[in-house]
Amino acid sequence: MTSSREDLASAEGLAGTQDPARTDSDEPGWIGEALREHAEHERHEVDAGHRRQLPLADREQQVLDRIDRARRRRPRVREERITMSHGAGGKATQTLIEAIFLDAFRNPLLEPLEDAAQLLIGGSRIALTTDSYVVKPLFFPGGNIGDLAVNGTVNDLSVSGATPLYLSAGFILEEGFGVADLARITETMRDAAAAAGVHIVTGDTKVVEKGKADGCYINTAGVGLISRDVSLGVAHAQPGDAIIVSGPIGDHGITIMLARGELDLEADIASDTAPLNGLVAGLLDAVHGVRALRDATRGGVATILNEIAKAADVGVLVTEDDIPVRPEVRGASELLGIDPMYVACEGRLVAVVPEAEADRAVAALRAHPLGEQAAVIGHVRAEQPGIVQLKTAFGGTRIVDLLVGDPLPRIC
């Protein structure tokens, strides 16, 4: 017993041998920068001596307030290079978009950061969007990269309230890629476009040396016409509104994960990739005053809930028991230690509607084959703005934050 006490003491002794002149601001790279920034804000905020005297709960609240302020500061990319996290759809992606892209391109049309930009051209309201697809593997149960490339862009237009009309298709192909595979992908795109009622009207082809790409990447852009008198946006969410998902979540992400074969797991499950324009049209026909629609892709439903909380500066409370998840997806998620709330879908949407319209909205969604398991999963509220909370099946509560790490790169 004494030995370990000595160990602790000797460790402290060692710590004492550090260069006494070393301070936090000498720390290398972003750590020193983050600490200096922290010290700067700290000086302006609470003085530490005062905080010590407060009761425990109040001190904790003070720290929470300080964190809230820190989170609302202008995002900055601290890394010197792009890492896989920047593409994961979570916090790092958001920081990159806001600190680099939005900063450079800032304009009122881009600023809402919705799934599609809304333009007024010659008296018509047009929605414009673009998306790139780098999914690995290219072929998976329920579809291939071609389905994703068409449906993903159709869905971004649909959830903006637009009728999708025309798509472009750009291909980046790796030297050595099979022509038969390319034909399979383009046939799938043709069929997916036909199913969604859109036309692929322009395109581009590039080939890069072997090893400089992974088979086939696709970019699609799309335009649609907003003919309905709707104004959709997550910033419109108001306390009391109901939050609905259109069906079981996480199918696509788990399918891709299993299709890679790295986990030696098998389950009878397929991607949910599907065009949502029919489902959205049914909803908007039945319900007036829909506040926001989003398709839940990278980052999953959790990311959308956080976007709602942030954009509208409201709280969100959802109930775990009410969120539809297939048993196969839940099982795989449990095994892998993943939360289905963060797993990508490719044919599901999240809708925010006034509470009085919730039943009508669920009924309208359920009337469509893609929305049979639609359900209200929670509500918008005034309390704790900016924070998404989950009532767990166990009966406790916790936060659902934006994802930081990358559970699975190249999901779409």
Partner 1 sequence: MAMRFVDEFRDADKAHALAAKIAALCEPGRQYKLMEVCGGHTHTIYKHGLEDYLPESITLVHGPGCPVCVIPMGRVDDAMHLAAQPDVIMTSFGDMMRVPGSQGSFFDAKAQGTDIRMVYSPLDSLKIARQNPDKRVVFMAIGFETTAPSTAMTMLRASAEGLANFSVFCNHVTIIPAIKAILDSPDLRLDGFIGPGHVSTVIGCRPYEFIASQYAKPVVVAGFEPLDILQSIYMLMVQLSQGRSEVENQYSRVVPWNGNVVALKAIGETMELRPYFEWRGLGFISHSALKVREKYAAMDAELLFQVPGVRVADPKACQCGEVLKGVLKPWECKVFGTACTPETPIGTCMVSPEGACAAYYNYGRMNRTRVPEASRS
- Helix (H) / strand (E) element for 383: namely none
Of 49, 55, 123, 395, the one binding partner 1 (CB under 8 A) is 395
Confirm or reject binding of residue 212 to partner 1 (CB under 8 A): no
The pair of three-digit structure tokens given for residue 391, joined into one six-digit string: 């009532």
The three-class DSSP label of residue 379 is strand
Confirm or reject binding of residue 394 to partner 1 (CB under 8 A): yes
Which CB sits closer to partner 1, 216 or 329? 329
Query: Least CB distance from residue 277 to partner 1, whole Å?
Result: 30
Rounded Cα distance between 170 and 77, Å, is 29
On whether the CB atoms of residues 160 and 226 are closer than 8 A, the answer is yes
Region of 206-214, 220-228, 282-290, 327-335 interacting with partner 1 (CB under 8 A) = 327-335
Confirm or reject binding of residue 30 to partner 1 (CB under 8 A): yes
Confirm or reject binding of residue 79 to partner 1 (CB under 8 A): yes
Shortest CA distance to 316 belongs to which of 213, 398, 219, 387?
387
Shortest CA distance to 309 belongs to which of 404, 378, 253, 397?
378
Q: What are phi and psi of 222, to 5 degrees?
A: -145, 150
Q: DSSP characters for 195-263?
A: HHT-EEEEEEEEEE-TTSS-SEEEEEEEEEE--SS----GGG--TT-EEEESS---HHHHHHHHHT-SS
Specify burial of residue 276 (Cβ count, 10 A radius: 0-12, 13-18, 19+): buried
Confirm or reject binding of residue 38 to partner 1 (CB under 8 A): yes
Query: Least CB distance from residue 225 to partner 1, whole Å?
Result: 39
Query: Least CB distance from residue 219 to partner 1, whole Å?
Result: 23
Of 54, 58, 60, 210, the one binding partner 1 (CB under 8 A) is 60
Q: Give the per-residue contact string, 8-27, with partner 1 (x = CB under 8 A; - = no).
A: x-xxx-xx--x---xxx--x
Which residues of the chain form contacts with partner 1 (CB under 8 A)? 1-5, 7-8, 10-12, 14-15, 18, 22-24, 27-31, 34-35, 37-38, 41-42, 59-61, 63-64, 66-67, 70, 78-85, 91-92, 95, 262-263, 327, 330-331, 334, 337, 384, 387, 389-399, 401, 404-405
